[in-house]
């Protein structure tokens, strides 16, 4: 069975003339998701980010390539050891791809959840200067993401994560984050196969829950 699947893939890949553009894109995205799954550290995510960026620049009318470019850029900075200035530039680049995705697919809960994530991480580079303006900005965007689709586990995760990393003194903390993360966990458990659409976050949610205990 597997071989047939592979064969189909190869066939689809080879006979360009017969394949629909969408299928070419789907295959490329699938390959990219495999890259994300096996990515280890900065270099892996940078390669994946570049890969998705190449697809995004050829497929201007699709939101997923831009979305995954932003997602991989975010992780390049999250896992990397770049200096602050470079991290800032990477987050900014991730944000431009989120904006691109938003233009193609407006009011998409997934895109807002990712945007909230990136802004929160950008804030954490210089919390003293940025917390005041960027935490409310991130929470506002995450709130919109939840409003657009309350069943989106990543939107719920972002709410929990933001609360988790906001100091208690500023209204956050582990205690407050725990019930939020539990809600996110429930939503993750309910989530069925998403295909090429975003499906990340469950392990992150579980890891944060563990730290909340």
Partner 1 sequence: MKQFILLFALLFYQQITIAQTKISGIVISTNGQQIAGANISIAKTYDGSSTDTAGRFSFVTSEQGKQLLKFSAVGHKPDSLWIDLKGKTLSLELKLKEMVNDLNQVTISAGTLETGDYKKGAVLSSLDIATTAGAVADIVAALQTLPGTAQAFGENGLFVRGGLGAETQTYFDGMIVKSPFGSQLPDIASRNRFSTFLFKGTTFSSGGYSAQYGQALSAALLMETKDMPEKSSTELSLLSVGLSATKTIKMKKSALIFGGNYYNLQPVYAVVKQNINWDKAPIDGQANIQYKLQPTKNGMFKFFGQFNRTQAALKTGPEQMAVTNSNNNYFFNSTYQDYLNNDWKVQAGISYSRSKELGGIQENDYSRFDELTQGRFSINRYLNGRSLIRTGAEVYFGSREDRYNTLSRSFDNDMQAAFTEGEFYIGDNLVARAGARMEHSSYIADWNIAPRLSLGIKAGKRGQVSLAYGTFYQNPDDAYLIQSTNLDYEKADHYLLNYQFLNEGITFRAEAYYKKYSSLTTYDFAGYAGSYGVNNYSNLGNGGSGYSKGVDLFFRDKKSIPAGDYWISYSFVDSKRDFRNYPSVATPPFAAKHTLNVVYKQYIPYLKSEIGTTYSFSSGRTFYNPNNAQFLSDKTKSFHNLSLNVSYLTSVFKQFAVLYASATNLPGFKNIYGYNYSVDGSNRQAITPASKRNFFVGLIITIGDNTFNR
CB of 67 to partner 1, least distance (A): 16
Measure the CA–CA gap between 130 and 128, rounded to whole angstroms.
6
* Nearer to partner 1 among residue 171 and residue 179 (C-beta): 171
* Of the candidate residues 20, 38, 106, 169, the single one contacting partner 1 (CB under 8 A): 169
CB of 200 to partner 1, least distance (A): 21
> Using CB under 8 A, which of the segments 83-91, 95-103, 144-152, 185-193 binds partner 1?
83-91
> Using CB under 8 A, which of the segments 105-113, 135-143, 188-196, 201-209 binds partner 1?
135-143
Of the candidates 158, 186, 162, the residue with the CA atom closest to the CA atom of residue 174: 162
Measure the CA–CA gap between 88 and 84, rounded to whole angstroms.
6
Q: State the binding string over 43-72 for partner 1 (x if CB under 8 A, else -).
A: x--xx-xxx-xxx-xx--------------
Phi then psi for 137, rounded to 5 degrees?
A: -65, -50
Long-range interactions of 98-102: CB distance < 8 A, separation 24+: 98/66, 98/67, 98/70, 100/56, 100/66, 101/63, 101/64, 101/66, 101/67, 101/70, 102/63
* Nearer to partner 1 among residue 21 and residue 211 (C-beta): 21
CB of 204 to partner 1, least distance (A): 21
Which of positions 11-40 make contact with partner 1 (CB under 8 A)? 11, 13-14, 28
The answer to the question of residue 178 lying near partner 1 (CB under 8 A) is no
């Amino acid at each position: 069975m597997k071989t047939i699947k592979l064969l189909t893939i190869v066939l689809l890949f080879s006979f360009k003339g017969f394949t629909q553009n969408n299928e070419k894109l789907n295959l490329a995205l699938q390959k990219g998701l495999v890259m994300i799954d096996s990515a280890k550290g900065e270099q892996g995510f940078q390669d994946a980010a570049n890969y998705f960026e190449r697809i995004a620049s050829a497929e201007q009318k699709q939101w997923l390539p831009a979305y995954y470019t932003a997602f991989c850029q975010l992780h390049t900075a999250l896992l990397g050891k770049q200096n602050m200035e470079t991290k800032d530039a990477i987050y900014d680049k991730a944000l431009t791809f989120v904006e691109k995705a938003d233009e193609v697919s407006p009011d998409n809960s997934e895109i807002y959840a990712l945007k909230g994530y990136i802004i929160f991480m950008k804030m954490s580079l210089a919390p003293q200067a940025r917390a005041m303006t960027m935490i409310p900005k991130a929470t506002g965007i995450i709130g919109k993401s939840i409003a657009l689709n309350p069943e989106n586990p990543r939107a719920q995760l972002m709410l929990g994560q933001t609360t988790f990393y906001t100091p208690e003194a500023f209204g956050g903390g582990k205690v407050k984050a725990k019930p939020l993360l539990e809600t996110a966990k429930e939503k993750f458990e309910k989530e069925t196969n998403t295909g090429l659409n975003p499906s990340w976050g469950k392990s992150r949610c579980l890891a944060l829950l563990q730290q909340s205990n």
